[in-house]
Structure 1
Amino acid sequence: MDVTTTPSLPLRAARVVTELLSPAVIVVALPLAVAWQSTGYAVLPTLGWGLLVAVFYSVIPMAIMVRGARRGRWDGHWVRERERRIIPFLLCLVSTSVGLVIMLLADAPRPVIALSWSMIATLVVVLAITRWWKVSVHATVAGGAVATIALLYGPWYLLLVVGVALVCWSRVMVRDHTVAQVVVGALLGPVVGGAVFLWLR
């Protein structure tokens, strides 16, 4: 392979971070962490509630993104073009809303419901912003997740903000976002998602 076409080590690292700390991954892990605390550290209820949230808030939305990319409706599973983000975000909103209804009917633990509402509220705000400007969903989800974990498990978990910084760096490094877009996203997650979670939990 021509060395001029080989990505640099930082760029390759950024691509790995973009996938490993993506919203799809975080939104599988975060509900499990919330369910673990809210069910009194019971394994089976944790898996049940955590995976229910994960399916409607991560697995189905990710399937929508991948399917649309494979059909050429947008330019990849992270939908880089701002104008094309509206439709997949609306479909994700439908999926999350269905998941929330199921959890309400099934009497899910209050913190799990609060998390679900917080993610829906954040998605609605991101969707509204996306009509005019492109904000980083990676940074938004990462920032909101750290705020949620810190609220549940204590302020020491704010050290996870290092991971948020890493996500922000990766999104700029792969040229999917500007510095402003990742900074706004990193703040939007805690301000909207964290506040809603704190209010409802």
Structure 2
Amino acid sequence: MLIQIAYFISIVLHPMVVAPVTFGTLIYGDSANTSPHKLFAISLLFTTVLIIIVVLLFKKKGQITNLDISEREQRVQPLVYGSIIYGVGFLVLNYFDATPLVKGLMFCYAINTTIVWGITRYWKISIHAIGLGGPFVALWLFGFQFPIIMGCSMILLCTSRVVLKAHTPAQVLAGASLAMGLAYLELTYLFLPL
């Protein structure tokens, strides 16, 4: 039963679920975003659709053993593609004049995925925790400040990843801390007015 609950939490708070929800909130919640449908479609394409296609292609070619990419060594190449996809997504959002927080979050995805790629070459870090930590910071800076809900969600996700034996406590703690620290620095110093 515990394994099933942990698996459910991992699916509900999966990075491919968190990204479109976060971008949708940032885009549709701010009237300064012109053409919100276009901006959301761009965000969805670059944070979810293209990433899923890359993972499915790697699976089809036999370069990954499962869709969760649970083997550390198998994560390296998909992370490189992810960094490139997010980087192009940032450029497209910038071209279409997305608000600073929207394009800033895509920038965070690109840079932080590159950093995770470097770490993953030597050590497995929790991409689930990273995929929740950065968006939480963006939502917090946007004004969605719900520390109990956000904190409990992060604890539940990190605990579920440990229960599923996908990560150690150090790997989920490192992922959450790295994502929140980097996202805060990148967004506040590079994209938001001081």
Number of matched pairs: 191
Q: Are residue 123 (structure 1) and residue 75 (structure 2) matched?
A: no
Structure 2 gaps of 5+ residues are none
Contact 2:101/2:138 (<8 A) preserved: no
CA spacing shift, 1:160–1:10, aligned 2, 3 Å: same
Matching residue within 132, 148, 163 for 1:142 = 132
Residue equivalent to 1:103: 93
- The alpha-carbon deviation at position 144 of structure 1 amounts to 1.5
Give the CA RMSD over aligned residues.
Answer: 1.8
Per-residue CA deviation, residues 98-141 of structure 1 (Å, 9 max, x unaligned), is 21221222222222111111111211111111111110010011
What one-letter code is carried by the residue in structure 1 that aligns with 2:19?
V
Cα distance between partner residues in 2 of 1:145 and 1:12: 25
SS at match of 2:29: helix
Matching residue within 24, 35, 38 for 1:45 = 35
Matching residue within 23, 27, 30 for 1:35 = 27
SS at match of 1:74: coil
Cα distance between partner residues in 1 of 2:74 and 2:25: 32
CA spacing shift, 1:133–1:65, aligned 2, 3 Å: same
Contact 1:146/1:161 (<8 A) preserved: no
Residue equivalent to 1:23: 15
Q: Are residue 175 (structure 1) and residue 155 (structure 2) matched?
A: no
What one-letter code is carried by the residue in structure 2 that aligns with 1:13?
I
CA spacing shift, 1:17–1:154, aligned 2, 3 Å: closer
Structure of greater Rg? 1
- The alpha-carbon deviation at position 159 of structure 1 amounts to 3.3
Matching residue within 75, 81, 91 for 1:91 = 81
Per the normalisation by structure 2, the TM-score is 0.90
Q: Are residue 153 (structure 1) and residue 170 (structure 2) matched?
A: no
Contact 1:144/1:189 (<8 A) preserved: yes
Per the normalisation by structure 1, the TM-score is 0.87
SS at match of 1:38: coil
- The alpha-carbon deviation at position 157 of structure 1 amounts to 4.6
Per-residue CA deviation, residues 120-177 of structure 1 (Å, 9 max, x unaligned), is 1211111111111110010011111212111111533563121111110111111111
Contact 1:39/1:109 (<8 A) preserved: no
- The alpha-carbon deviation at position 59 of structure 1 amounts to 1.6
Contact 1:32/1:50 (<8 A) preserved: yes
Contact 2:119/2:125 (<8 A) preserved: yes
- The alpha-carbon deviation at position 180 of structure 1 amounts to 0.5
Structure 1 gaps of 5+ residues are 1-8
- The alpha-carbon deviation at position 48 of structure 1 amounts to 2.5
What one-letter code is carried by the residue in structure 1 that aligns with 2:131?
V
Q: Which runs of 4+ in 1 moved over 6 A?
A: none
Taking only the aligned residue pairs, the percentage that are identical comes to 23
